[in-house]
Structure 1
Amino acid sequence: MAAVARGRCLPRAWLCRWGPDSPLSPERQPGDPRNPRLALCSRRAGQGCGRHYRAALCAELKQPLAIEEVASRPVRPHETLWQIPERVPLREAATLPVSYGTAVLALEHRAHTRPGETVLVTAAAGATGLAVIDVATNVLHAQVIAAAGSDEKCKLAMQKGAQSVVNYSRGSLKEAVRTLVGSAGVNVAIDTVGGDVFLEALRSLAWEGRIVVVGFAGGTIASVPANLLLLKNVSAMGLYWSRYKEQNFPVFSRTLSSALQYCQQGRIQPHIGAVFKLEEVNDAFLHVIQRKSTGKVLISLK
């Protein structure tokens, strides 16, 4: 969800519309400067990040909106802007930064997921989890086992393309996965929960399997037993999507470009779980904190 929390601006991406009078001069604007364009704007938050504008990732704007209205200073350089194709609705575009950027980077760049491989994803009904299901199933043609904490969330994951589901609130994740795929295990695991769920996902890996850590939604950071890495020659790796902007911008840029392309082509179908008005931002936070959310939660200016 896009919002301001504890003095930090989250996330570091916004939807922007610019026109001829915006800080991006006409000669730097892609396309015809007389035709206002929509773009995904991604950058580290600067001064004044407590402004309420930054709660908005989704805005169905009828009139051009200058970049100053959503950022405390002009966004430069222009390569941190991604034009939203005409076929991509703004609300769907708002789901792509962070969740789909993470999914693409985890599956393609870190885990090198191949067609036909089995992917296990935890917290499968969350924004990142559903994005992983979407990309793994519809782009990479992998088989997905979705793990979530309730039957309702498992049902949603199944509707979004997972081939199998596991409710890990009912028992051992490892044993449930073993029942589904046998002793061979899964090729790739994408974990956003941490703690015991991470450890069971790690133990569910196949020979030369790969597990990617993308978060600790459960609140516990597990220690990795090195012997588990050794016995099956598996790999455990981390992923912090926004760090790629500073450390490897071409890779960072490619993930958003790929997500926009997949969306334009109709290969992915982002799931919007709820949309709140800007004045309802506190309710939106409660919705997420109380674990009622599924998919992406958006804040709308309208």
Structure 2
Amino acid sequence: MKAVLCKEFGPASSLVFEETTDPVAGDNQVVIDIHAAGVNFPDTLIIQGKYQIKPPFPFSPGGEAAGVVARVGSNVKHVKPGDRVMALTGYGSFAEKVVADAAKVLPMPDDMDFTTASGFSMTYGTSMHALTQRGELKPGETLLVLGASGGVGLAAVEIGKAMGARVIAAASSAEKLEVARNAGADELINYSEVSLKDAVKELTGGKGADVIYDPVGGDLFDEAVRAINWKGRLLVVGFASGRIPDFPVNLALLKGSSIVGVFWGSFAAREPQANLDNFRQLFAWHSEGKLKPLVSERFALGEYEQALELLSSRKAVGKVVMQIR
């Protein structure tokens, strides 16, 4: 099979595209013929050795995929060869085939295509876990989403609306904010033009946001912690800005607020039933038309460098997908 391979840590330009051996399914694994693979910010980190997971060389990036089951291990019962599935692979999906742990493979809904499914698991799984288990978002509360036009940000906007929240979307340009508006955001903040803290305070009558979804970190985190309501929850999702911020703990004391870590991959492994329940709800909302995943860019497998550059430069809007079959 053909695959994008990382043989040493470095930028996307150091990856190679070549023939490699087909994967083999262990007893609790599934081999998938990939039709499409989602491209995510962690893919830009894992190839540089900057992610929590450091696979042995050579490995292929690509943390999620959708396709057709080719083979299953002896202990796998919930899917069979020929089934349409979506999978959280961690890495390995920038290839024509991938092997995945059976527990991380889900049958695709009948009304979902491969392109949509390939970019659904990580963004919607992360945002659903963040807002449900970690943020405990309630109907009528105000949710502030930073980086609201990106993959996880847009998913958070849609899920927040489905959960009954008032959603404030924050992004760095009018074009990106228009994407968030189309996803259902109630209010918009362009933080390249105004103070995030002041704008949030103005929109909330001085109270601040009840839940803040932050996949950006850096300077925006510094402002966001000062725009949180009493008993607010700030969800630490990632650091796309490149800087991991420090937190002045006196602010948590003054607001009775919480800084809450979000690590969906670990949650899915530790609490598989709760994760499955999350996806059942997500699939239901998708069928009802409440979730409309935006795939803004499609690349062929050999165009991996352009795809990864789009993520690392923070220019991506919605979801970026590798179209493999």
TM normalised by structure 2 equals 0.78
Identity of counterpart residues, as a percentage? 31
SS at match of 1:184: coil
Question: What aligned pairs does 1:265-284 form with structure 2 within 5 A after superposition?
Answer: 265-284=288-307
Is 1:40–2:89 an aligned residue pair? Answer: no
Contact 1:207 1:233 in 2 (8 A): yes
Distance in 2 between residues matched to 1:39 and 1:258, nearest whole Å: 17
SS at match of 1:258: helix
One of 18, 28, 43 as aligned partner of 2:69: 18
TM normalised by structure 1 equals 0.83
Distance in 2 between residues matched to 1:292 and 1:224, nearest whole Å: 27
Ranges in structure 1 where 5+ consecutive residues have no aligned partner: 57-68
Q: Normalized per residue, which structure has more helix?
A: 1
Contact 1:210 1:235 in 2 (8 A): yes
One of 246, 258, 264 as aligned partner of 1:223: 246
CA deviation string 1:28-63 (max 9, x = no partner): 254xx68x2111123454xxx4xxxx226xxxxxxx
Segment drifting more, 256-265 vs 1-10: 1-10
One of 283, 295, 299 as aligned partner of 2:318: 295
CA deviation string 1:47-91 (max 9, x = no partner): xx4xxxx226xxxxxxxxxxxx522x5x44x33321111111222
- Aligned residue type for 1:200: E
Is 1:143–2:156 an aligned residue pair? Answer: no
- Aligned residue type for 2:283: L
CA deviation string 1:143-164 (max 9, x = no partner): 1111111111112111211111
Give, in angstroms, the shift of residue 11 of structure 1.
4.4
- Aligned residue type for 1:121: V
Contact 2:88 2:122 in 1 (8 A): no
Which residue in the other structure is 2:144 paired with? Answer: 120
Is 1:110–2:134 an aligned residue pair? Answer: yes
Give, in angstroms, the shift of residue 10 of structure 1.
4.3
Give, in angstroms, the shift of residue 110 of structure 1.
0.6
Distance in 1 between residues matched to 2:177 and 2:324, nearest whole Å: 31
Distance in 2 between residues matched to 1:222 and 1:252, nearest whole Å: 29
Is 1:184–2:235 an aligned residue pair? Answer: no
Q: Normalized per residue, which structure has more strand?
A: 2
Which residue in the other structure is 1:212 paired with? Answer: 235
Give, in angstroms, the shift of residue 298 of structure 1.
0.3
SS at match of 1:28: coil
Give, in angstroms, the shift of residue 290 of structure 1.
2.7
CA RMSD between the two structures:
2.2
Ranges in structure 2 where 5+ consecutive residues have no aligned partner: 1-38, 50-54
Distance in 1 between residues matched to 2:305 and 2:196, nearest whole Å: 34
- Aligned residue type for 1:88: M
Distance in 1 between residues matched to 2:130 and 2:75, nearest whole Å: 36
Which residue in the other structure is 1:61 paired with? Answer: none
Distance in 2 between residues matched to 1:242 and 1:234, nearest whole Å: 25
Contact 2:64 2:119 in 1 (8 A): no
Segment drifting more, 1-10 vs 288-297: 1-10
In the alignment of these two chains, the number of paired residues is: 274
Which residue in the other structure is 2:153 paired with? Answer: 129
Distance in 2 between residues matched to 1:94 and 1:159, nearest whole Å: 22
Structure 1 segments of 4+ aligned residues over 4 angstroms from their partners: 7-11, 24-27
Contact 1:146 1:166 in 2 (8 A): yes
Contact 1:11 1:98 in 2 (8 A): no
Give, in angstroms, the shift of residue 169 of structure 1.
1.0
